[in-house]
């Protein structure tokens, strides 16, 4: 599915990258899907219970802890800056907001722990969709027009010898395996 390509483009970012094995397992075995709390299901169902996109973080903090969408974006930025004092401040706001909405502190701690990996950099879905479209088109051209694809690829990198060698090496390995 094209949606899987979109998710993979987002998962291959430093923030959610550690979730790739769980994403794959849950995709193939829905019994493994787990939501930290049931309220997360509407926002994480499409990604098998895993936070993949920045928009999911924003929706989770909005619904679970009462943040505005703008405050959710600020939380993402604060987490991304990795400034300990700012992160502690945002964590406190998140926990306080969750408690004010009647959530349990343990659940709030668990959800914030799911959000923190985005400090390594997470993607929003629209960016990931653009990259996925290019990946899909590139794969199509490589599969259906391999000679033309390689000619264009090698021509575009002609003055970067190291790059050309990698591309030729990859092509030779693919031919030998096939």
**Residue whose structure tokens are 């709390």:** 37
Distance CA(96)–CA(109), nearest Å, equals 11
Residue 89 backbone zone (phi > 0: left; psi -120 to 50: alpha; other: beta): alpha
State the burial class of residue 47 (Cβ atoms within 10 Å of its Cβ: 0-12, 13-18, 19+).
buried
List helix spans (H) across the chain. 2-11, 20-28, 41-44, 54-65, 69-81, 84-100, 105-115, 125-144, 146-156, 161-177
- The predicted-structure confidence for 160-175, as pLDDT tens digits, reads as follows 888 888 888 776 555 4
- The predicted-structure confidence for 33-80, as pLDDT tens digits, reads as follows 999 888 899 989 999 999 999 889 888 999 999 999 888 888 887 877
In the chain, what percentage of residues exceed pLDDT 90?
48
Per the CB < 8 A criterion, the answer to whether 126 and 92 are in contact is no
Count of Cβ atoms closer than 10 Å to residue 44 Cβ? 22
Quote the pTM value: 0.82
């Amino acid at each position: 599915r094209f949606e899987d390509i979109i998710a993979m483009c987002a998962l291959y970012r430093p923030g959610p990258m550690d979730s790739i094995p769980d994403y794959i397992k849950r995709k193939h075995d829905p019994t493994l899907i787990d939501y930290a709390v049931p309220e997360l299901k509407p926002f994480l169902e499409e990604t098998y219970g895993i936070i993949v996109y920045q928009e999911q973080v924003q929706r989770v903090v909005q619904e679970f802890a009462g943040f505005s969408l703008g405050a959710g974006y600020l939380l993402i930025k604060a987490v991304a800056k990795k400034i300990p004092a700012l992160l502690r401040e945002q964590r406190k706001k998140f926990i306080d907001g969750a408690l004010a909405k009647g959530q349990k502190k343990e659940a709030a701690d668990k959800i914030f722990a799911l959000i923190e990996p985005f400090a390594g950099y997470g993607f929003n879905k629209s960016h990931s969709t653009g990259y996925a479209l290019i990946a899909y088109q590139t794969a199509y051209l490589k599969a259906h027009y391999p000679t033309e694809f390689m000619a264009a690829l090698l021509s575009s990198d002609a003055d970067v010898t190291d790059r050309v060698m990698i591309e030729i090496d990859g092509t030779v390995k693919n031919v030998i395996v096939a």
